[in-house]
Structure 1
Amino acid sequence: MGAQSERNEGPDLTQGVAAEAIREGQILEGQVDGETVILARKGEEIFAVSGTCTHYSGPLAKGLVVGETVRCPWHHACFSLRTGEALGAPAFDPIQCWNIEQRDGKVFITGKAGKVPAPVTTAEAAAHPESIVIIGGGAAGFAATEMLRRHNYAGKLTVLSSDDDAPYDRPNLSKDFLAGEAPAEWIPLRSKRFYEKRDIDLRLGATVERIDPSARTVTLADGTSLPFERLLIATGAEPVRLPIPGADGDNVFTLRSWADSRAIIERAQASKVAVVIGASFIGLETAAALRTRGLEVHVVAPEALPLEKVLGPELGKFIRALHEDKGVTFHLENTVESIGKDAVRLKDGAELKADLIVTGVGVKPRISLARDAGLETGSGIKVDAFLESSVQGIFAAGDVAEWQSSSSAEPRRVEHWVVAERQGQVAALNMLGARQPFTDTPFFWSAHYDTSIRYVGYAGGWDSVEVDGDIKAGDAALRYKVKGRTVAVATLGRDQEALRAGEELRNA
């Protein structure tokens, strides 16, 4: 996640700075009574807002100004410079706006601005649906819920989650939390009071058995039937289970939920050796977290280099060396054939002792509810540019949504946290009649010890990879190209470049 934003002792903005020093598209950082404040210009207008991201305290001064917005360099949260509103996840809380005064060619901060009224959608409130049901309490489901109430939706709002925990920060489960470096208080996205205060009917441990598009009802396993005028399916994905002997043993874990992460931590506290099956992002982040806890860690995977299919051989070699330097042992071009009580047997005949086994071999979208209800499906639930399914009034977002991107002839389904959250936000607005297409560039980040990789775009394959910088030094940008056109960019130590690449790809 990153540490708290570094304090930069910039100029005291109450004493004024030259207006000409605030240039279009750039950020000027300063201080007001010990708080970091940034200044940005659009034309003749100058904005002053807090310089700290409300997600994980990222330094907005090192971010990117686009129009009347500022983007965080760490996880690409987007804020309005005019109102402070968190326009794009993973941040949900606004940043503080500050009042300014211009005189004698200088800009002065005169104090904090008042609270800006809640935003409204372009559709008339009278046209809002009487009831909305959201199936899923993950990234997309939570983001949609929060956005609906933020935009003053006053109808009945029900969230049905199969999880026993209220919506939480899933990316942290394989990173700082699993490593023992993040407290449990960081994990919930909101407190219980948040749902109560906003009259959100959050039902945990709720299993949905069927959707009836004609009757506009959702039926739960206990027989309860809930009516809806609009429905969002945000059921996410579930881990793929290995079809091998011993895969259901009590020493074998998957990592998808907060409960999974807690169970792995409990087992790790009494373990010395762990085997991670799969060199996926989840698998490698889990390996890093368990090494941080002091366990001996082995990673078994069928590919020649970890993450080569996604990031290419250059980064694959770097990631392998990064983990090996921390003591991880790789068993590549190999697979696990069986799992015992205290060991795993590999395809090549080797046996690895193990107290703890974690599988990270991929996930599959939960689309059976939609398919059984007659919605059009492919690799996911097929939706249009507005995230509406083949049945009017029923939307899908997140890991289950297969949407048509304006930049690609082929439909996409992406399993990224920020994509899911932003699709949830767009779906929420469209359920209120906004008719806003989803146009965001896919983005994810992956943390391995002290190294973070930012990735923007989508590359199912590529003709060439253009490397700028020094990968081994952790200062590089890799551009994945198809017929000379950049389709994705991965960066090490170049956070602002990742932001710029996201904008370039959005406008391509």
Structure 2
Amino acid sequence: MAATFYKYIILGGGVAAGYAAREFASLGVLPGELAIISKEAVAPYERPALSKAYLFPEGAARLPGFHTCVGSGGERLLPDWYAEKGVELILSTEIVKVDLAEKTLASSFGGIFKYGTLIIATGATFIKLSDFGVQGADAKGIYYLREIDDADSLVEAIRAKPGGKAVIVGGGYIGLELAADLIINKLDVTMVYPEPWCMPRLFTSEIAAFYEGYYQNKGVKIVKGTVATGFESDASGNVNLVKLKDGRELPADIVVVGVGARPLVSLFKGQVEEEKGGIKVDAFFQTSVPGVYAVGDVATFPMKIFNDKRRVEHVDHARKSAIQAVQHIKATEKGTSVAEYDYLPFFYSRSFDLSWQFYGDNVGDSVVFGQTDPSVPKAKFGAYWIKDDKIVGAFLENGSPEENKAIAKVARVQPPVTSKEALLASGLEFASKI
């Protein structure tokens, strides 16, 4: 079979692909030069919508409402946009073999694609409990959430089990956001996670206590310090019981698992340098192979602000890294240059009427300020992380746009701190003065 050639190919159809396509279009790309190859059946979309609004019982997010690039306030790129720009959307196509030396991609259908420049934007996929040999983990009624098809399946399950019992395995991003969604859908929700508090990778115990208390006030039951070790099913193969390591058993009509993700890099093993679980790239997202870039979840890149290398799984980085890579590709063609990637880590979440933002790094000592009583309506509080006598991270719940900009500036500037007590007393006022 003859290969189809594109000057540029973006492998993956998630958030990074949409932002990369928009940047190519803005910098100039001829019809037929650029293709996006995606195993999903729809044009790139803002993936966070799946856990934040897609499951709402009323006013739920639906396509085409959240195609990229609306997540950052930009134009919504509908499928017609790609056609108008001469960008080829090759959907429902899974690439099963990559040869970086020959610059070829082979699909499961037998199609062969050749490229001049490749952007790897394959993202990450969820970790399944069956990967660990958990008994009964392949039963019907156990759900994961990563793509729109996953969300559609979960919507159907919620509608089929009104008032049913839902067990969420995991206490991170997905667990917390989906617990809120399912409670809003009037299900009986229990969260199970092994850590001593929720979101341990980011939250301190004091911050976590606020969110756990808030969720419990909303009706979410929380079981900490144990894991799911097995599932039982009914005669039809549908899950009906979750077995925990501590001996407890939880009846369940729906189980949603959110225990982490792993980058999709297996296609490139042995062909490109890797580091810290991802594909090693430079400050322009170039890999060790000329003409091959890696962006978003799969890239381990230089974190300039902290002078180390990291892999970041977050939509903000997916957007910005894609833009950086395309700018470098086009600048190189013109014989010009772009500035090195200088990323400030950013994470956020929205659930119920809560909305928090975090910038920087959560290392060192923490100082929590403000109202942390979960029973107080619209409670506002925040935290700073201090390392080597300077602020390296900042967090704020229920902040205004101006206040969120202020804490972002604090994390970027990293001002010195002489007294934790003074910082505690000044709280958010400190950020407004930086």
If the TM-score is normalised by the length of the shorter chain, which range does it land in?
0.7 to 0.9
Match of 1:345 among 243, 252, 256: 243
TM (norm. structure 2) is: 0.83
In 2, the alpha carbon distance for the partners of 1:375 and 1:163 equals 27
Alignment of 1:422-501 (within 5 A): 422-433=320-331, 434-459=337-362, 462-472=363-373, 473=376, 474-495=379-400, 496-501=402-407
Aligned to 2:148: 258
Q: Separation in 1 of the partners of 2:157 and 2:142?
A: 10
Q: Does the 8 Å contact 1:439/1:506 carry over to 2?
A: no
CA distance in 1, matches of 2:299, 2:407: 24
Instruction: Quote how far apart the aligned CAs of 1:153 are.
Output: 2.0
AA aligned opposite 2:351 = H
Detail structure 1 runs of 4+ shifted over 6 Å in the superposition. Answer: none
Letter in 1 for 2:10: I
Map Cα deviations across residues 50-90 of structure 1 (whole Å, 9 max, x no partner).
Answer: xxxxxxxxxxxxxxxxxxxxxxxxxxxxxxxxxxxxxxxxx
Q: Which residue of 2 aligns with 1:374?
A: 272
What are the equivalent positions in structure 2 for 1:76-115 lying under 5 Å apart? none
What CA deviation, in whole Å up to 9, does each residue of 1:149-170 have, x standing for no partner? Answer: 1222226101011212221121
Give, in whole Å, the separation in 1 of the partners of 2:261 and 2:147: 13
Structure 1 residue identity aligned to 2:178: T
Separation of aligned partners in 2, 1:286 and 1:316: 17
Alignment match, 2:25: 149
Alignment of 1:391 with 2:289, yes or no, is yes
Gap regions ≥5 residues in structure 2:
69-76, 234-239, 332-336, 415-434
**Could you tell me how far 1:438 is from its partner in structure 2?**
1.5
Please give the residue correspondences for 1:4-83 in structure 2 after superposition, counting only pairs within 5 Å.
Answer: none
Q: 1:201 to 1:356 in 2, by over 3 A?
A: same
Tell me how far apart the structure 2 counterparts of residues 287 and 423 of structure 1 sit (CA, whole Å).
Answer: 30
Question: 3-state DSSP class of the match of 1:158?
Answer: strand
2:264 maps to a residue whose letter is: R
Please state if 1:201 is matched with 2:88. Answer: yes
| Amino acid of the structure 1 residue aligned with 2:394 | V
- The alpha-carbon deviation at position 507 of structure 1 amounts to 4.7
Aligned residues: 378
Query: Per-residue deviation at 1:331?
Result: 0.7
Give 1:143's aligned amino acid. Answer: Y
Corresponding residue of 1:293: 185
How far, CA to CA, are the matches of 2:117 and 2:275 in structure 1?
19
**Partner residue of 2:122?**
235
Structure-1 residue corresponding to 2:201: 309
Q: Provide the C-alpha distance between the structure 2 equivalents of 1:489 and 1:265, rounded to a whole number of angstroms.
A: 35
- Does the 8 Å contact 2:396/2:407 carry over to 1? no
- Partner residue, 2:112: 225
Q: Secondary structure at the match of 2:35?
A: strand
Quick check: 2:287–2:294 contact (8 Å CA) kept in 1?
Answer: yes
Partner amino acid, structure 2, of 1:216: K
Give the corresponding residue for 1:133.
9
Amino acid at match of 1:456: Y
- Which one has the bigger helix percentage? 2
**Separation in 1, partners of 2:6, 2:413:** 37
Q: Distance in 2 between matches of 1:500 and 1:232?
A: 34
Deviation per CA, 1:181-201: give whole Å up to 9, x if none. Answer: 324142333322111111111
State how far apart, in whole Å, the 1-side matches of 2:200 and 2:242 are. 25
Q: Which has the larger radius of gyration?
A: 1
Letter of the 1:212 counterpart: D
Structure 1 distance, partners of 2:270, 2:42, is: 27
- The Cα of 1:237 is off from its aligned counterpart by 0.4
* TM-score normalised according to structure 1 size: 0.71
Alpha-carbon distance between aligned partners in 1 of 2:201 and 2:413, rounded to the nearest angstrom = 26
SS of 2:310 mapped into structure 1 = coil
How far 1:130 sits from its partner (Å)? 7.1
